């Protein structure tokens, strides 16, 4: 017979696995879009003879790539943990998404729309994963606690 905590982990495991798989597909699609968008935009500074904009594009490309690499590493580590890989533990550095690498929107606002969209999508995905990770590590809330919180909110 399972204890309450073990049972909640067993119940949550298929949901977490599905979330990880779906997020992995989404991250890989954004990575492909980022590659295409930044490749198309890379001559922006040369065309407009704006070397600062070209440097800004290079920096934002690196930030976006780094953000996506952190996301993909986190997802792959989650996959390994769920598969029971002994080399993937909850205390590994890859087990935490970490702090976001924020885009500088004063620069990004000068890029073409496809580049802006991919940067924003990578930031949103990072934030979603950070929220999911926080929720997975939060203690479970019982129905009684939920009702009590609703009563407190009404008072």
Q: How far apart are the first and last CA of the chain?
A: 40
Mean pLDDT of the chain: 84
Q: Is the pLDDT of residue 9 over 90?
A: no
Does residue 79 surpass a pLDDT of 50?
A: yes
pTM score of the predicted model: 0.77
Greater model confidence, 138 or 1: 138
Per-residue model confidence (pLDDT) at position 113: 94
| Tens digits of residue pLDDT in 107-119 | 999 999 999 999 9
As a whole number, mean pLDDT of residues 1-15 equals: 46
Sequence length of the chain is 155
Range 4-154 has CATH code 1.20.1260.10:
no
Query: Tell me, what DSSP letter sits at residue 66?
Result: H
Whether 82 contacts 34, CB under 8 Å:
no
């Amino acid at each position: 017979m399972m204890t309450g905590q073990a049972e909640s982990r067993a119940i949550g495991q298929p949901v977490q696995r599905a979330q990880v798989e779906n997020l992995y597909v989404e991250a890989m699609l954004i990575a492909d879009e980022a590659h295409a968008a930044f490749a198309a935009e890379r001559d922006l500074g040369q065309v407009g003879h704006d070397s600062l904009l070209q440097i800004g594009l290079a920096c934002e490309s690196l930030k976006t790539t780094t953000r996506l690499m952190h996301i993909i590493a986190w997802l792959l580590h989650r996959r390994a943990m769920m598969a029971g890989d002994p080399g993937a533990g909850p205390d590994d550095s890859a087990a935490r998404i970490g702090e976001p690498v924020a885009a500088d929107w004063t620069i990004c606002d000068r890029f073409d729309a496809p580049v802006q969209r991919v940067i924003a999508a990578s930031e949103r995905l990072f934030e979603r994963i950070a929220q999911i990770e926080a929720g997975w590590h939060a203690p479970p809330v019982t129905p009684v606690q939920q009702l009590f919180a609703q009563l407190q909110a009404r008072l």
